[in-house]
A and B are shown apart, each in its own frame.
Chain A
């Protein structure tokens, strides 16, 4: 276990290095991205541009620039090109709204995804299964921005039931915090409810044909117990994998939902920085997101070994 975690940590450093180099290179080869030119403004004199170039170190070699930026990101001194604010501080500010959004949405989608998947599988082929299938396919197919806007139109602008967006700190008012997050939670969860319920349904239908389910029936277990202890338990393993990967990716910023509801989180910051081709925050957010993806990958592997005793950490599954 300790050896496994040590190996994974070493792997994480390698992944973060590769991701940062790639991001850095991409932004240095795309056209129209000379940051000194943009910082100097539309009517800048060549002298001003030259000054900025020298001051920010844009004339140094790419490896040197990369090292400087990475050093600043890791020490917390990195400043964005647009607005000249401290990037790391801004990311830390974005953590509460982003994490509030992700944890709440994840709770909703896991609950309903598993519930709908279970009901669909147990009643496979029946009317309830068909109704839930329609709901799931609709959730998967509808684009997130459309769902978000439709909810906003009907629940905010027309009926004024819920606030249109923004983030209220949990410490200030838990009630308002939740009120402001309901729409973002639901919007983000809808897609995942659809995917998770379909995955669980098909896993369960496969598991129902397993020999050990026949054994469980043959020893006289009730149908409910056969389903929960033998079918569901084994079908949840792939769902856990999926959850770890999705959730890890979202912690790095749920870009679309945050932008629609102006949550002022990491995802929205990423969105604004991308529009401005603002390299320092993009680098920092990419590293931040990659960190969580690798972290959750590792957690998924550990969970796997716990959920399926045949799997040994660090070995390929049989």
Chain B
């Protein structure tokens, strides 16, 4: 309310209106002389005044003489015309040509012409991105060249994607990019997407050098929207989504399950568990107490849920003050079925978020700009009491494990914890509430210093961010029972109690951080007849402090502090020859005095070949540019603070020098952590070679970057000291080294075919890393080392199919993982010692994070209709599948059986059971069944390694914008309805659950498949 008052007040204050003398009229036309309706006409430096042209292109506006009229329309150049004494002003609007000179990128030093930029930067047109749900991280994969991303959960509130700029360059603690929002380090998961003005990814050392010891893993720069002088513009959007799951594991029903149990037992010469009679009882559901057949998936998961997203923003202002105010609401429902009788609270997963942002710009003097921004969000998440077990329970509880309730009303359970009755687990165990409250405030003061020298300005920024999180967990569970498999003499069930009742009890947790950031910079930018010089020096400091629940360790209560001096100088000669030098001299409190500061320089250069005179003959080539950068970066987030200090403390044990009667006891005092005082940050050397091409009036644009990064001094604990050293704690050291190479690229093609605007976009990111050095023990077999292989390289035995017969078993090397028979997995003897053991474990596949991400999309618009389709893919990843459902019956009766394994065509079946020798298929997808675990089959090997590559139809969108003419009658400038489908389809090799989860056992909330309809209106 107060904010609203301020806005109203400001609007009045700004429009302390001057006398209006002249009435100006005229017609606005396009280059073909057709009248243009809905062109916005405002008076420069006077907010709130303005009109727009009508259906015939005519307008009328009241203004004073000698004011300036501003004509603007999307897709056309804005024109400013001095009124003078005229009363008729006719204007011909010119389509905005996207000249290469007009294209800009957002860099660490601010907005820069794209042509003179020498760093590797991806600038994302935020309008091209369709964000599933409300989380921008889920839109990064396949949309932003240079980013590798994966979404490993679809649960509301926990469905952020993990992402890495140019993949993984380190196995150290911090692999994530630095996120800068409006010039300050801030998270962006919860940002309202409508507020984002620009989104850039800084990838190479020259682009990130200014961030010194924080920029090693790349930087994402986000700026939020600001008000623009002109009439107030109100933009509103409402969308509703219908959310289903991309893919949920499918399991066999009780009858199939029981048959498979029998097969698993009899094929290993054990007695079957179910008699033919009992199988019939299960099939016909004759005794649901003893022989239940429950479809837990159906019982616990809803077929669909909804999300709602609404946002509203205002912007506008006059010449001296401008504003942007936005608010947004988001609600995302979970998939968990809840108990309708519980009225007091909800157990389903849910996330609600309220965002707000106000950005004010004041021109205090003609050369002084004050910017004030306040933004924040309030988030509330809900999840069922034992919700963290739901997927484990779904995977584990087989259809015959227990009924939902016994016929006498008692609550059944397989066990406790994750083995609680699934229905109880998701509906009867209370709930967890989580709130997050985040407020970011920043003030910028910008002073142009042209009176000292032209092109100089100073900027000072202060930010104060506060974040608090609270969690309340109200938990309970009912008394639960199991039954003996046989009834007693009277035909009654024999109950065994599994857990006693727990009435509701509560635990809570809280955390909070405060961040204070200051920075000031001097910027110089000037063009001297063809020589363009820009320079910047920046002083920066940041303090982040946890203020809640910091525990007893002194280190936890000490603020994280960074201090840096950084600078940039760039030079461009006739936009042709480009050079830049950047540096960051940054310090961190995390190291000892003398080791706190590091110098991270970067040099870069570019040659815009297309600007050469001899090249200008090639008219169709707008831009041909090569650039190269070489620089150093750092990472001061080691995952452990003050590791350079030792800790001496009493260990809890005591020693008595005396006897019992006269004890003389001392607490034992010693090193609990030894120090390594030479510790310092991780450093990286980055090289980047880029090529940029624009042809045919920018119809086709293309860029490609090759990169190489060597990361050194990776912080790691030395875990393999021999015991003779005698230290009781492993010391830390900067000993790791990696090499990461790859490329990223992007192209777009834009063409207007008749009345159809047509665009094709594509991007790709690929990397391959290698551990050059890391802390590991001596390995006799080089392939058992981590050195020389990828970070997180998967390792396992090499499977050579299934044993055909005993003859083959006799003629093969001995396998040491328990007994085996035909139909079990045969492994390769890699070291040739005649024994299959851990020394035959070799690197196989890749890592579970994709090393290749690509996206391809096209959009077209015709009249008011627009259409957009986007595919996203990932490759070069691999992971093992395992767990109680992938390994049938590995944990006995704990674990569902995938329909894939239930399909006889997919598994090895003894001919004694199937009666058909053909079912003894040595190439089958599942080995001979076993009950209660099989150490030979169920271990990481190529047999269970799955290729993680996939291609998905990420976005399919259809929209319709109402014609301007009709809108004008309603005083609207834009009205668009649209429908977007997200994650509609996926092509992959895994088939059993969503491949992007990179999850081995299926115990994960799948990503959402969403169909959203929405309406967007701008006043």
Asked whether A and B interact, the reply is no
Query: B-side interface residues toward A, CB under 8 Å?
Result: none
Query: A-side interface residues toward B, CB under 8 Å?
Result: none
